[in-house]
Chain A
Amino acid sequence: KNQVEQSPQSLIILEGKNCTLQCNYTVSPFSNLRWYKQDTGRGPVSLTIMTFSENTKSNGRYTATLDADTKQSSLHITASQLSDSASYICVVSARDSNYQLIWGAGTKLIIKP
């Protein structure tokens, strides 16, 4: 069964610190992996999209990595800011007839001053 698991479920860190969020998936055949940021009360917004051949992608202070062999991805946030407080969602697209999206439940990140 295609699944996406994220850890931790929630995380609290101090402003200025770094953190890493994890995503494990069992989706096959794999097309691409996306990380979304969802602020409270808002819709998800795309941070990065990685295909099979990409193993690192950055968007400002956000760096996503992908290991297609172990089916793991991580999102590293550098020098966290209060505005980084949000849920971060990992989404994997299957290379099937309609590129089905399989959504993780997300990691809720809280940045404390």
Chain B
Amino acid sequence: NAGVTQTPKFQVLKTGQSMTLQCAQDMNHEYMSWYRQDPGMGLRLIHYSVGAGITDQGEVPNGYNVSRSTTEDFPLRLLSAAPSQTSVYFCASSPTLFLAGGKEQYFGPGTRLTVT
């Protein structure tokens, strides 16, 4: 099992450009999510999905779009990049949405994005 994979590992964009961060998991998990991690702050949830065809907004969704056409893939699209979106982005997956009773959440290696 590869677990959760993310591409690219690094990316530099100019303000106004768009791009898609890729995320895939091979554990047949229903729940996938995108976080951003900024210095001195906890991870913040951008969007999440509870299954193919179902997505919802997290804490900081503005400027980002997601779709979930298959169980395995959950891409994150930046519509018009802004310097405030400079961050490290993590994709995660877990068997269920409800992380009760010790359900594990697995993270990808991250994408470091710089917007100039």
Q: Interface of A with B (CB < 8 Å)?
A: 4, 31-32, 41-46, 49, 51, 89, 91, 93, 95, 98-99, 101-106
B97 contacts chain A at the CB level, 8 A cutoff? yes
Task: Report whether B42 and A105 are in contact in the complex, using a CB–CB cutoff of 8 Å.
Answer: yes
Q: Is the CB of A43 within 8 A of B101?
A: no
Q: Check: B41 CB closer than 8 A to any chain A CB.
A: yes
B109 touches A31 (CB 8 A): no
- Given A43-B107, A43-B109, A46-B104, CB of A98 within 8 Å of CB of B42: no
Q: Chain A's interface: helix, strand, loop or mixed, by majority? A: strand
- Interface residues, chain B, CB within 8 Å of chain A? 4, 40-45, 90, 92, 97-102, 104-105, 107-110
Shortest distance from the beta carbon of B75 to any chain A beta carbon, whole Å: 17
Main secondary structure of the interface of B (DSSP, over half): loop
Closest-CB distance, B105 to chain A (whole angstroms) = 7
Q: Are A103 and B104 in contact (CB under 8 A)?
A: no
Question: Given A102-B42, A105-B40, A43–B99 Cβ distance below 8 Å?
Answer: no
A70 and B99 alpha carbons, distance in the complex (Å): 23
**Residues A42 and B42 in contact, CB atoms below 8 Å apart:** no
User: Contact check: which of B4, B41, B42, B104 meets A43 at CB < 8 Å?
Assistant: B4
Which of these, B4, B41, B98, B107, contacts A99 with CB under 8 Å? B98
A101: chain B residues at CB < 8 Å are 45, 99, 105
Bound Cα distance A66, B71 (Å): 35
* Contact partners of B4 in chain A: CB under 8 A: 43
Question: Inside 8 A of A89's CB, which chain B residues have their CB?
Answer: 42-43
Pair B109/A42 contact, Cβ less than 8 Å: yes
